[in-house]
Structure 1
């Protein structure tokens, strides 16, 4: 099988880094991307600025591949938007990889050639059979010596409902609910939210980004009001580590959100787990919690409660996933916010990402399952280790070549975007802050 490529699923930051790392190791990668360009998911949040600087967003092997092409490395101290990351790095990297990247190629299934999930006999001797569907509907099989699934979790958004399933009425209110950070630089989007009662649900960095952006509307127009819905009993460490965060932009984001709350631009509604979404004759929404609390006269809902991996197309692959996070079992204890409250993840590689299916790996955000706080650097370290392992360099695969920035957060629960983590963790327990639910006063449309 040595003549076969290593198939990489996804032409995002981690998938393209995997290809560069493999190529540097003398292995032939084939990147399959269902979108029409590199960084298709990144382009969907093109208006959002990253809190990692350029120095942390360029994979080392990818940088070495790009340098001979005349590529100009961005200023390492700058913080790009999603658009800038895609245009100035991901697309040039895909161009440098050339025909090793195929667009409009959706992977719809992976198996061992001639074997379903149940069959043991001769399994590891057979290549992977990757089923691919083109944009025109044509189907084919691609054989691979190994597979790295770096397809991410962008399409696997968590719902508004507090049980992990959509709330009753959530689907019927789909025209008033979005699951992405709104782009207020777009006139039509800005007009949609200005002068409205907006609910933002979620406690992660996406929610903080949306709150900071939307609070600007409130400053300009007092008829715009924002309710921030948290499932947890109090704000706790939601704002992050502030100046103690070793990623300064990440700490600054939390401080801006905190300032908006303290200025009265955002009303915090805690202990609210949405069970039902009701709609009145005028089309306005009422969110009803599992405890019967009501948040009324809602015009728009921005749901940013995290992501989950899409695993259905891996049904014939023998995965070993943690039952809680849906992350590889050796990785899960390092990222599980129920037991790891500090929000800082130790570097890890091929050993932690391995599965019973030999030479199959989940990498990037998908490897975290339902856990949050993933950094590009983490994914780059993952694929460096995987490429070394596939090349037979087990010493390099086991070596740690990355020191991740500390979050500055320790001793609290709820680092999970869907806010279900238990108190305590690696840095000791914390008492939850309990606040009383208070719906904001009603205002006109």
Structure 2
């Protein structure tokens, strides 16, 4: 069967999260037909997994302008721009209405399993750019489908592919066998069953970012509660403790973000967590009682723990793009032109330069990785950045180079570039907080556990 003319085809958007839906809204605004493919059962599936977490951003910063225009005719009312939504608020009050407004342009239960050029594998040069993209899709009901597209915007994120506990980037020996005692998400201790799993137990927290801060503070809160007596955390760091270990603190332009690191510091200072530095996990063993023993590459062995929370970052799933010619940085797995701008060794959230379609382009013209996926393994992505990315990309697809090149973005500087605010901290105490970081889950619940459920994710 001959492939249809490229100009008649939709732009396939992979992922119905905040950035994917924003991309669809910009495409509609420019008169281009989008087709959004979401693996989950509902739009914003990943966001719904951290529905209980309050964002660092206000409502005024998490609604894309093109999306708001699309929503306006439906009678949608913009929530108070100065207030802070939870992940659940964001999903129910914005993402789901936006998906509903897009209607049949959004398909759920549709997992993209491959992207290529029609009739051309990765090797073939002949008339490659003249061929439309072919997107293979597996549906939840078992059906397989092949779709053609004029361009592909991959906004699938990294939430589904957390990094392992092993210090080499590969799972530690015994890590898979100990899967029943290891989680790669910040546990939701407001869930009684989850709370019981950690109460009175010794837990190793591996990682040095906002997710680890969150887990440490959360476990400290549990230790101070009536049912958490004897709860103890062991904070396992691959590096040493320095002045910036706990983020920007009080100097962070996002006070709620800075408070996350300060809460983790308090957990250590108050004796609820012991820090072990320079420890790169090589093996996970079990003792005679079935408890886990972490073994470092240098042979050090930690005292047994009951549970492990591995929060060592996320990485992009590139498996379904294996037939596409991507120009990716060998370290970050981000577009080569973007990688130097987001190198976490050099940049925090606010020092990443504005960027758009040129930095996101690949030798395979018409393919763009956007949102957290575009940042590869770098942890400093901001949702505001994602909205500007897709505006620029869509402008480029329309041929409006001037608009596509005009990228302007001012971001808050300093500190931890991941996570959500203090769940139970009154908004009045966070009134100066602006901006939003993602993709890493972050939840601090100080005081009595609330009624909100599920752990946080990437998203802003």
**Is the structural similarity TM-score above 0.5?**
yes
Asked which structure has the greater RCO (Cα within 8 Å, sep 6+), the reply is 2
3-state secondary structure, aligned to 2:25: helix
Alignment size in residue pairs: 412
2:174, 2:285 within 8 Å by CA — same for their partners in 1?
yes
3-state secondary structure, aligned to 1:18: helix
Moved more, 198-207 or 29-38: 198-207
Shift, 1:381, TM fit: 0.8
1:17 aligns with 2:22: yes
1:280-295 alignment runs, 5 A limit: 280-295=287-302
Q: Find the aligned partners of 1:250 and 1:160 in 2 and give their Cα distance.
A: 25
Moved more, 149-158 or 343-352: 343-352
3-state secondary structure, aligned to 1:347: coil
1:394 equivalent in structure 2: 401
1:203 aligns with 2:202: no
2:375, 2:381 within 8 Å by CA — same for their partners in 1?
yes
User: Which residue of 4, 25, 32 maps to 2:9?
Assistant: 4
Shift, 1:78, TM fit: 2.3
Normalising by structure 1, we get a TM-score of 0.89
1:336, 1:371 within 8 Å by CA — same for their partners in 2?
yes
The CA deviation string for residues 306-353 of structure 1, in whole angstroms up to 9 with x for no partner, is 001111110110000000111000000011123446763122110000
Q: Find the aligned partners of 1:326 and 1:305 in 2 and give their Cα distance.
A: 16
CA RMSD of aligned residues (A): 1.7
Q: Find the aligned partners of 1:54 and 1:177 in 2 and give their Cα distance.
A: 34
Q: Find the aligned partners of 2:166 and 2:216 in 1 and give their Cα distance.
A: 20
2:56 equivalent in structure 1: 51
2:349, 2:411 within 8 Å by CA — same for their partners in 1?
no
1:336 aligns with 2:343: yes
1:92 equivalent in structure 2: 97
Q: Find the aligned partners of 1:75 and 1:362 in 2 and give their Cα distance.
A: 31
Q: Find the aligned partners of 1:75 and 1:84 in 2 and give their Cα distance.
A: 12
Q: Find the aligned partners of 2:55 and 2:418 in 1 and give their Cα distance.
A: 19
The CA deviation string for residues 393-414 of structure 1, in whole angstroms up to 9 with x for no partner, is 11111112321111258xxxxx
Q: Find the aligned partners of 2:386 and 2:207 in 1 and give their Cα distance.
A: 24
1:220-299 alignment runs, 5 A limit: 220=225, 221-299=228-306
Q: Find the aligned partners of 1:147 and 1:6 in 2 and give their Cα distance.
A: 6
2:356, 2:389 within 8 Å by CA — same for their partners in 1?
yes
1:234, 1:271 within 8 Å by CA — same for their partners in 2?
no
3-state secondary structure, aligned to 1:352: helix
User: Which residue of 164, 179, 182 maps to 1:177?
Assistant: 182
Q: Find the aligned partners of 2:164 and 2:108 in 1 and give their Cα distance.
A: 29
1:122 aligns with 2:127: yes
1:353 equivalent in structure 2: 360
Q: Find the aligned partners of 2:229 and 2:331 in 1 and give their Cα distance.
A: 43
Q: Find the aligned partners of 1:342 and 1:65 in 2 and give their Cα distance.
A: 29
3-state secondary structure, aligned to 1:258: helix
Shift, 1:281, TM fit: 2.5
Change (3 A) 1:46 1:331: same
1:34, 1:107 within 8 Å by CA — same for their partners in 2?
yes
1:52, 1:247 within 8 Å by CA — same for their partners in 2?
no
2:140 equivalent in structure 1: 135
User: Which residue of 289, 300, 313 maps to 2:320?
Assistant: 313
3-state secondary structure, aligned to 2:203: strand
Moved more, 255-264 or 330-339: 255-264
3-state secondary structure, aligned to 2:8: coil
1:385 aligns with 2:392: yes
1:45, 1:181 within 8 Å by CA — same for their partners in 2?
no
2:151 equivalent in structure 1: 146
- Gapped runs of 5+ residues in structure 1? 410-414, 418-445
Q: Find the aligned partners of 1:343 and 1:257 in 2 and give their Cα distance.
A: 22
2:164 equivalent in structure 1: 159
Q: Find the aligned partners of 1:32 and 1:360 in 2 and give their Cα distance.
A: 15
2:175, 2:283 within 8 Å by CA — same for their partners in 1?
yes
Shift, 1:54, TM fit: 1.9
